[in-house]
Amino acid sequence: MNMRKSLAVFALAAFSLTGCVDLEVVNPNAADAQRALSTPGDIEALIGGGFGTWWQSSSFSTGPSAILMTMSNQHSATAANFGMVEFSGWPRVPAQNQPAQVFSSQNSANAWIWLYRAAASVVDGLNALDGGVTLPPDQLARARAYGYFVLGMAHGSAALLYDRGYIYDPSISVDDVQLAPYPEVMEAALGYFDIAIQEAQGQNFTIPRTWMSVEVSAQELIELAYSMRARYRANVARTPAERAAVDWNAVISDVDNGITTPFSIDVSSGSGFVSGTLSNTSRFGPWGQMSYQVLGMADTSGSYQRWLALPPESRHPNLSPDQQSDPFLLITPDQRFPSGETIAEQQENPGTLFEITTRGGGFGAQWARPDRGTFRWSYYRYLANDQWQSVATRTTHPEVTLAEMRLLKAEGLYRTDRQGEAADLINVTRTAAGLSPTDASGVNESCVPRLPNGECGDLFEMLKWELRLETITQGLHLAPWYFHGRGWGDLVEGSFLQIPIPGRELELLGESLYTFGGIGGDFAAPVGTYGF
């Protein structure tokens, strides 16, 4: 009864929130889904909303994205909104699932609801089609291919985020649904992508713009499904051992069959696919400054090592005792960062990804709330998402890029003893950024990244560096650093490695509450690759 009640709530919510569905029912306060889902248009509208509902789990500030971004040092913030400060502090705190605790009642619970709302709406729609409502053959193929693609997305994300999840599709009665561990949920997700690919093969349909924000052809959906398989398969790992055990040959194959052009979401005003998270983190001031914790490895001057040698509570963007005369500037050949030896020079010469801003009060506006830790401060901010600062400039969000796919393949090649081929793929963006090319032996004449111990990064560290820099806020719930970092063993000690099922869901299931993360806790990151 408990699983049935929970999924029924998700299904009803998905049904009632699908604005295009005709709800001509006797009692408007108790929608009769069977009567309302009586026409092909109704069913297509219900299924077609699935991707947008999934996108909410990535894009809304009230989901987990902002927490995962700051906890993995993808960016830094002194604004406490959405749990950013709470979960990125020293020492790390556990992810609670007390229903009254904000993280559980909002950030983790919302994502859970959105993911299973997307799944439930698709299952309801596909069951209605199986129940006798007919569509023309091309529309039926479109509904089924797209529907199973959404089921792959919803289950894949649930497996990435939570320790367990439901597996639910048209072949499973809601009475038979049970929680399954995340590897089983991911296996189901990969299977749904397979079905989506099979359903779209040989078809000539076009998914309408309203479903995915842009029109997508059958062939493009096939390629996107392969790329999503590669992404999810590689990133479900909680530990370095699990990531090493990924079927990397399958990842390589999926990448080779995947996208040939980037997949971007239309996020312009009125598209219905905006992102509160990206809007907030692009703001000037204390929201979206760069974190030195990992990106300090761009520096070749030694300042990063001196900064790390200080206890976290003493770290500051100025390294002198008076915190005034020794600014921690990144002196680096990496052109994604500003160039120059002084603050003024770097302000005049921004990098392609980062700048020392003179806008919005300048870098000083970022240095707020020292009581929350000056280790969060830096001179730099990420500028590549500046389109989000105004509704007038927002156009597209790169959700799946060729760089991500190329570098996932490079990791697969590296892990299958094809280091020379991996180096060739790493060099595409590495040399474009002004860094020296590498090879199978891991030569690193630029010494970027320069590791916390002062050594120049080897081939694997150069791979990680490129994958980090080339995918900031792109895909993986806008927090790719979190998912890659846990599989690489790079997260800060005590960071939670997965999210517990939200407390209200556990109450429905009659299960006890539990936590992950925190120093010494279950599924807590150990001391990581870089010694922190």
Q: What pLDDT, on the 0 to 100 scale, is given for residue 134?
A: 87
Break the chain into its structural domains and give their ranges.
2-279, 283-384
Which fold, 2-279? 1.25.40
In this prediction, residue 29 carries a pLDDT of 33
Q: By the 8 A CB rule, do 268 and 397 touch?
A: no
Model pLDDT, residue 11: 52
Q: Which of 239, 242, 309, 162 is nearest to 526 (CA)?
A: 239
The pLDDT of residue 73: 97
Tokens 């597996």, residue located: 167
Q: Across the strands, what pairs with 30?
A: none
How far apart, in whole angstroms, are the C-alpha atoms of residue 454 and residue 109?
A: 42
Output DSSP code: residue 375: G
C-alpha–C-alpha distance, residues 180 and 195, integer Å = 21
How many helices and strands, by DSSP H and E, does the chain display?
A: 23, 8
- Rounded-to-integer distance, Cα 61 and Cα 293, Å: 23
pLDDT at 30: 33
Tokens of 421: 């081929």
CA distance 317 to 326: 8
137: CB partners within 8 A, 6+ apart: none
Q: Give the pLDDT confidence score for residue 175 in this predicted structure.
A: 92
Q: Distance between CA 450 and CA 446 in Å, rounded?
A: 9
Separation of alpha carbons 450 and 461, rounded Å: 9
- Half-sphere CA count of 454, side-chain side, radius 13 A: 6
Report the pLDDT value the prediction gives residue 477, as an integer from 0 to 100. 97
**294 neighbors 302 (Cβ within 8 angstroms):** no
Q: What pLDDT tens digit does each residue of the chain (532 aa) get?
A: 455 556 655 554 454 444 333 323 333 333 344 545 668 889 999 999 999 999 999 999 999 999 999 999 999 999 999 999 999 999 999 998 888 888 878 899 999 999 999 999 999 999 999 988 889 999 999 999 999 999 999 999 999 999 999 999 999 999 999 999 999 999 999 999 999 999 999 999 999 999 999 999 999 999 999 999 999 999 999 999 999 999 999 999 999 999 999 999 999 988 999 999 999 999 999 998 999 999 999 999 999 999 999 999 999 999 998 888 999 999 999 999 999 999 999 999 999 999 999 999 999 999 999 999 999 999 999 999 999 988 889 999 999 999 999 999 999 999 999 999 999 999 999 999 999 999 999 999 999 999 999 999 999 999 999 999 999 999 999 999 999 999 999 999 999 999 999 999 999 999 999 999 999 999 999 999 999 9
What's the confidence (pLDDT) of residue 391? 86
Q: 76: which strand partners?
A: 289
* DSSP per-residue letters across 288-311: SBPPHHHHGGG--SSHHHHHHHS-
> 120-157 burial, b for 16+ CB within 10 Å, e for fewer?
bbbbbbbbbbeeebebeeeebbbbbbbbbbbbbbbbbb
